[in-house]
Amino acid sequence: MAQREFWNFFRDAGASSFGGVPYTYEMLDRMRFMGMALPSLKTMTQAGGKLTPELHRKFAEWAGEHGKKFIVMYGQCEATARMGYLPAEKALEKYGSMGIAIPGGKFQLKDAEGRTITQPHVTGELVYEGRNVTMGYAECGADLAKGDERHGILATGDMAQLNEDGYYYIVGRKKRFLKIYGNRINLDELERLLKGSFPGLDLACGGVDDHLHIFLVEKGMASPYFPCGKGHGRGSQELHDRKDEA
């Protein structure tokens, strides 16, 4: 998609749709995709991870203004790729959401004790139920005789919230948390917060308890932050200015 030849072929062939992962749409945004003339394009789909809400809104707005459909989807290979989707007509209104369950499927949220969460805006693990859930994994020939181990239920490992309208919002992965001075820090949420505060910034968060590591592509943003509030370079000052927000 980064090559001119791809888009020449797209126009010549009259292609009507394409799909991508979050990085695809980050790349398209930098390429000024929204300035391209693509009269045959009707539908854009996104899966393979969560878009930042800002980028989701940007593409949803562009699609709505140009008569295109932008559909965000949610899935895992253990459920034959698709469990949820955000209808195109809700793309802008519910930007940031991964949507609702596919026809025939069902979502629910579970707390740490396995109890179902019914109230809105409470984080729990997203659990899916449907006929498209895999039977399980076989590690040897004998495992093929085990039968259906999942019984149509898949604990996704994703942490999510439900709003008052029944739409789900992924907030992070179950295992992507650190304890920082006794506080649970969601690394996925932190990455989205930083990318939203510093548009165009490429980064990844990791670390171990009490030690958060932020990996940056742009060296100018990697200057150390000192407790006294003094650092070197524009990156440290911006991070200092926004430390309370983070």
What is the average pLDDT score of the chain? 88
Residues 190 and 110 in one domain: no
Residues 37 and 158 in one domain: yes
pLDDT tens-digit map of 176-209: 888 787 777 888 888 888 888 888 788 899 988 8
pLDDT tens-digit map of 114-152: 999 999 999 999 999 999 999 999 999 999 999 999 999
pLDDT band per the 50, 70, 90 thresholds, residue 104: very high
Residues 74 and 167 in one domain: yes
Tell whether 157 is covered by a domain. yes
Report phi then psi at 22, rounded to 5.
-50, -40
Residues 155 and 227 in one domain: no
Domain of residue 181 covers 177-239
pLDDT band per the 50, 70, 90 thresholds, residue 224: low
As a whole number of angstroms, the distance between CA 163 and CA 173 comes to 19
Question: Would the pTM of this model clear 0.85, i.e. be above it?
Answer: no
Contact 107, 124 (CB under 8 A): no
Structure tokens at 106: 């069902």
Q: Count the neighbouring beta carbons within 10 Å of the beta carbon of residue 101.
A: 19
Structure tokens at 170: 């992924």
Residues 154 and 166 in one domain: yes
- On the 0-12 / 13-18 / 19+ scale of CB atoms within 10 A, 15 is middle
pLDDT tens-digit map of 34-84: 999 999 999 999 998 888 899 999 999 999 999 999 999 999 999 998 999
Q: Which among 173, 188, 212 is the end of a domain? A: 173
Residues 229 and 121 in one domain: no
Residues 166 and 181 in one domain: no
- Flag whether pLDDT at 10 surpasses 60: yes
Residues 79 and 186 in one domain: no
Tell whether 246 is covered by a domain. no
Residues 167 and 185 in one domain: no
Could you tell me the CATH number of the domain that includes residue 92? 3.40.50.12780
- On the 0-12 / 13-18 / 19+ scale of CB atoms within 10 A, 109 is buried
- Provide CB contacts within 8 A for 189, sequence distance 6+: 171, 172
Total number of domains in the chain: 2
Residues 61 and 121 in one domain: yes
Residues 50 and 158 in one domain: yes
Cα dist from 241 to 154, 186, 198, 230, whole Å: 42, 21, 12, 11
Structure tokens at 36: 């391209």
- Provide CB contacts within 8 A for 65, sequence distance 6+: none
